[in-house]
Amino acid sequence: MTRSKTGPVLTASDYQHLARELVDADVWDFIEGGAESERTLRANVSAFDRLRLRPRVMTDVSTVDTAVSLFGAGHRTPIGVGPTAYHRLVNPEGEVATARGASAVGALFVVSVFASRSLEDIAAASDGRLWLHLYWFRRREVMTGLIRRAEDAGYTALVLTVDAPRIGRRWRDMRNGFAIGGDVAAVNIDAAVMALTHHSDVGHSAIADHAAQSFDAAVTWADLAWLRSQTRLPIVLKGILTAEDAALAVEHGADGVVVSNHGGRQLDGAVASLEALPEVVDAVAGAIPVLFDGGVRRGTDALVALALGARMVLLGRPPLWGLAAGGADGVEGLLRTTTDELAHAMALAGRPRLADLDRSVLRARPGGEL
């Protein structure tokens, strides 16, 4: 077990405290921060406090099964690593260490298009549960090149993030003049395309300036047909928060959606992820899997999202805390801890299989709503 100066590392919050000591202040702000006044960032976490669990008893919980399959592939836990950019900001091995940690627990790892290690090196370190995340670049050949490489390296799905036609106004990054430091880079994309990300200018976020230059903000639902024509891999849309968009995603042939507000980093004031989950699940009505991210910090949070209809839960910041605190072992420890907490909660809630998790597990606190 990992130990810190103050005792054993038992929870995601313990990893967070360890990581904070080790990460440069501007990088810490980049990781922890959200858009503008960070209302949505806070709401993502506090939304879980409004629900209570309704445990059932005497249901034989002698074995608890957390295995789940998606698009024909098995995962040992429904808790995966969501796409986050530039893992080398917190550990020299970067995404290669993350892949090793995720593989050790049989968890999905969604690799960011802004990964700081090559897609091929990450694949070589993984036991194969990898998806590739994409933004929609103005230069579509950047996307097609990445898709070919991901297919060749054995990535099994694409995650297109649709909530970032531009990057949210992240005041911390703007004040810090945050830019990506010299020896860290988005190595899977042509350096000329990424040049602006290294340009520090107080009052500006370099990653926001880069996105304004290179992301295609004109994309509409009709464009999805082009992406569909480029690959046979399942396409999952990340950043869906409404029933309307969930229905459009199904109509336009998406293979899955991720209910997400990008960890409160895009539209400040947007609905908390957890609040949006029921309407998206209802609108999709079982047609495609619904995944979830935002504010999951404990196994019981994952249990709540799964009970509301998520098939899988992704973590954004917590794996970065694990990676900063302990490299591959830290990622493994963080994911194992959170999965163990989930299994424990399933046993004590009297629901030993993921299929047993439904809305009957939950009730709103008095005065609240589901």
Binding site for ligand COI (CB under 6 A): 85, 114, 164, 167, 207, 211, 262, 265
Distance between CA 358 and CA 351 in Å, rounded?
10
Q: Which of 267, 289, 340 is nearest to 34 (CA)?
A: 267
Decide whether 38 or 356 has the Cβ nearer to ligand FMN: 38
Q: Which of 15, 48, 109, 114 binds ligand FMN (CB under 6 A)?
A: 114
Decide whether 68 or 296 has the Cβ nearer to ligand FMN: 296
Structure tokens that stand for 351 in this block: 């629901």
Decide whether 191 or 285 has the Cβ nearer to ligand COI: 191
Structure tokens that stand for 295 in this block: 């504010």
Site map 33..52 versus ligand FMN, x via CB under 6 A: -----------x--------
> Rule CB under 6 A: which of 64-93 touch ligand FMN?
82-85
In angstroms, how far is CA 345 from the centroid of its own chain? 22
Residue 188 DSSP code: T
Cβ atoms 66, 95 nearer than 8 A: no
Distance between CA 190 and CA 358 in Å, rounded?
45
Site map 297..336 versus ligand FMN, x via CB under 6 A: ------------------xxx-------------------
Q: Which of 88, 262, 298, 311 binds ligand FMN (CB under 6 A)?
A: 262
> Rule CB under 6 A: which of 187-216 touch ligand FMN?
none
Cβ atoms 88, 94 nearer than 8 A: yes
Q: Which of 172, 238, 298, 351 binds ligand FMN (CB under 6 A)?
A: 238
Site map 128..167 versus ligand FMN, x via CB under 6 A: -----x---------------------------x------
Interaction of residue 107 with ligand FMN, rule CB under 6 A:
no
Residue in the shown chain whose Cβ atom is closest to ligand FMN: 316
**Per annotation, catalytic residue among 87, 204, 210, 262:** 262
Interaction of residue 292 with ligand FMN, rule CB under 6 A:
no
**Shortest approach of ligand COI to residue 215 CB, angstroms?**
8
Cβ atoms 300, 345 nearer than 8 A: yes
Decide whether 13 or 213 has the Cβ nearer to ligand COI: 213
Decide whether 2 or 161 has the Cβ nearer to ligand FMN: 161
Interaction of residue 236 with ligand FMN, rule CB under 6 A:
no
**How many angstroms separate the first and last alpha carbons of the chain?**
37
Q: Which of 94, 256, 294, 333 binds ligand FMN (CB under 6 A)?
A: 294
3-class DSSP assignment, residue 50? helix
Buried b (16+ CB within 10 A) or exposed e, 42-66: ebbbebbebbeeeeeeeeebeebeb
* 133 catalytic per annotation: no
Q: Which of 14, 268, 275, 293 binds ligand FMN (CB under 6 A)?
A: 293
Token pair 């973590």: residue: 315
The set of residues, in sequence order, having a beta carbon less than 8 Å from that of 369 and lying 6+ positions away, is none
Distance between CA 154 and CA 46 in Å, rounded?
38
Structure tokens that stand for 52 in this block: 């209570």
Indicate left, alpha or beta for 65 from its phi (over 0: left) and psi (-120 to 50: alpha): beta
Distances (CA, A) of 124 to 103, 127, 160: 11, 8, 23
Could you give the residue numbers annotated as active site?
A: 262
Enumerate binding residues for ligand FMN (CB under 6 A).
30-31, 44, 82-85, 112, 114, 133, 161, 238, 260, 262-263, 293-296, 315-317
